[in-house]
Amino acid sequence: MSSFDIDVTRDGGWWMVHIPKLGERTQARYPREVELMAREYIAISTGTPIDQVAVNWRRRTLVTWGRLATSTSLSR
């Protein structure tokens, strides 16, 4: 079994999934899709069968530039 950490960040209407071990990213529309999208991406990228890929799902909460700019301009 291959295990990969993933960092998950909300960006607008999408969940961005960073796979540090591969230095790559994928995305999911809904949180429930994050693990599958990550596992599929890893399986295709590494040639590992998807049932042999495990992920450690972490969520980081970050403010996107668009939201930061909107918040800043509203507070002026």
State mean pLDDT over 36-64: 88
Q: Which domain holds residue 31?
A: 2-75
Instruction: Give, in order, the Cα–Cα distances in Å from 53 to each of 21, 29, 35, 39, 71.
Output: 13, 21, 10, 6, 39
Confidence bin at 72 (pLDDT 50/70/90):
very low
pLDDT grade, residue 64 (50/70/90)? Answer: low
Domain with residue 6: its CATH number is 3.30.160.250
Domain count, the chain: 1
The 8-class DSSP code of residue 47 comes to T
